[in-house]
């Protein structure tokens, strides 16, 4: 039986970077006889334009049936003024939640060829390889009640609810412990247990699970300290597990340590390792349509998809090695360009990866 991928190119630079990722996917599909097929659906602003909603039923239906989803990026100023409940971001949040994609894996890896691109001193970041495991379908992003209400005195009040049940904490903790086992066996759980009860429970539950993974060294840190340590001594970290909001913030910070958010893929997995794979960066409307966006994060997302959902490790490694070779050749999109290297556009970069395969 062939395995099927639903591609959601999305908005802004999404279609441009996805076109290159598709070329790479087609190449490895042939090379490794993977038997994958794929089709396209709409998500985000482009779906609002066609269907009036960011996540149309046809898209959700196709995504539910697919074995994996490959996403470009969603959103842009064109849709910023429309009603909150149907903005492009809502489509993204809804597909995460409808498909139960609770485990968000965000690697922050520094490519040796790009070490100078970090805003930190090279010796602090050289060899950096952190994996942030962010809970993606709970916490304050989804907690009820939420809203903006009018108080008796006529003043407006905004409110959200940060809530995690034991089972939600347990399942993400298991994912993180297991990933730590496959890496350097160090897991840091990030909380704000000194102030917030919800994260006090988080810390307790993660600690209760730890004896099941005796080979993994578990530690805890408050989120403010973790944010500081990430820029102070980032190489002390291996796997970091945390809730939805802290994970959103810390993963951007970790991405910046690498100096090139245009290089970082991510995976959002359900209980059965079905996943949605997407670059960490956004839709970059300011450079959309110019053919200058970096397609490598999306190409590396294809590699992650092959590894986690399709268990095609050799094909995943081949893509990652091809990206390394293209960097060795000195090819750079403008976001990672530096003197002495060769500036190329989106398409040339994608085709160079295909050639390197």
Q: Which is nearer to Mg ion, 234 or 247 (CB)?
A: 247
**Could you say which of ligand IPM, Mg ion, none residue 135 binds, taking C-beta under 5 to 8 angstroms by partner kind?**
none
Asked if residues 235 and 127 have their Cβ atoms less than 8 Å apart, the reply is yes
The single residue of 129, 186, 235, 252 carrying the catalytic annotation is: 252
252 is catalytic: yes
Catalytic residue at 141?
yes
In angstroms, give the least distance from the CB of 63 to ligand IPM.
Answer: 17
C-beta separation of 251 from 134 below 8 A: yes
Does 11 engage in binding with ligand IPM (CB under 6 A)?
no
Can you tell me which residue has the tokens 């952190």? 130
Q: What is the contact mask toward ligand IPM in residues 131 to 170, using x (rule: CB under 6 A)? A: ----------------------------------------
Least separation in angstroms between CB 217 and ligand IPM = 28
Residue nearest ligand IPM (C-beta atom): 89
From ligand IPM, Mg ion, none, interface partner of 92 (C-beta below 5 to 8 A by class)? ligand IPM
33: left (phi over 0), alpha (psi -120 to 50) or beta: left
Question: For the purposes of burial, counting CB atoms within 10 Å of the CB of 324, is it exposed (0-12), middle (13-18) or buried (19 or more)?
Answer: middle
Residues 56-95 that bind ligand IPM (CB under 6 A): 89, 92-93
Does 248 help bind ligand IPM (rule: CB under 6 A)?
yes
Rounded distance between C-alpha atoms, residue 271 and residue 321, angstroms: 29
Provide the token pair at 151.
């108080």
Binding region for Mg ion (CB under 5 A): 248
In the complex with Mg ion, which residue's Cβ is closer, 13 or 349? 13
Distance CA 56, CA 48 (A): 8
In the structure encoding, which two tokens stand for residue 283, read together? Answer: 């839709």
| Minimum distance from residue 207 beta carbon to Mg ion (Å) | 27
Which among 14, 6, 5 has a CA at the least distance from the CA of 293?
A: 14
User: Is the separation of the CB atoms in 105 and 285 below 8 Å?
Assistant: no
Structure tokens at 275: 């996943």
In angstroms, give the least distance from the CB of 281 to ligand IPM: 10
By the 8 A CB rule, do 29 and 63 touch? Answer: no
Residues forming the site for ligand IPM (CB under 6 A) = 89, 92-93, 248
Q: Any idea which residues carry the catalytic annotation? A: 141, 192, 224, 248, 252
């Amino acid at each position: 039986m062939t395995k099927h991928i639903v591609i959601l190119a999305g908005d802004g630079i999404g279609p441009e970077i996805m076109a290159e990722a598709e070329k790479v996917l087609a190449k490895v599909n042939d090379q490794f006889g993977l038997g994958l097929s794929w089709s396209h659906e709409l998500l985000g602003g482009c779906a609002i334009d066609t269907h009036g909603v960011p996540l149309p039923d046809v898209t959700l239906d196709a995504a539910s049936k697919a074995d994996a989803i490959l996403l470009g990026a969603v959103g842009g100023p064109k849709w910023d003024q429309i009603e909150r409940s149907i903005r492009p971001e809502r489509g993204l949040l809804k597909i995460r939640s409808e498909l139960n994609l609770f485990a968000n894996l965000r690697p922050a890896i520094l490519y040796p060829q790009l070490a100078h691109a970090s805003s930190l001193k090279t010796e602090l970041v050289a060899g950096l390889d952190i994996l942030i495991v962010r809970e993606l379908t709970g916490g304050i992003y989804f907690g009820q009640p939420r809203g903006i209400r009018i108080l008796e005195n006529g003043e407006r009040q905004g409110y959200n609810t940060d809530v995690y049940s034991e089972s939600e904490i347990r399942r993400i903790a298991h994912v993180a412990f297991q990933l730590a086992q496959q890496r350097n066996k160090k897991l840091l759980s990030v909380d704000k247990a000194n102030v917030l009860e919800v994260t006090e429970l988080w810390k307790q539950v993660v600690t209760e699970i730890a004896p099941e993974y005796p080979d993994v060294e578990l530690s805890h840190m408050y989120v403010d300290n973790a944010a500081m340590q990430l820029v102070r001594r980032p190489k002390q970290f291996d796997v970091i597990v945390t809730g939805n909001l802290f994970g959103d913030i810390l993963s951007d910070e970790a991405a910046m340590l690498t100096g090139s958010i245009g290089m970082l893929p991510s995976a959002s997995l359900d209980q059965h390792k079905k996943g949605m794979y997407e670059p960490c960066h956004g839709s970059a409307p300011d450079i959309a349509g110019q053919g200058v966006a970096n397609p490598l994060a999306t190409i590396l997302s294809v590699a992650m998809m092959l590894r986690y959902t399709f268990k095609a490790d050799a094909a995943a490694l081949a893509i990652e090695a091809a990206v390394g070779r293209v960097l060795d050749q000195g090819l750079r999109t403008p976001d990672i360009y530096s003197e002495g290297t060769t500036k190329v556009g989106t398409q040339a970069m994608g085709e160079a990866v295909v050639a390197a395969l």
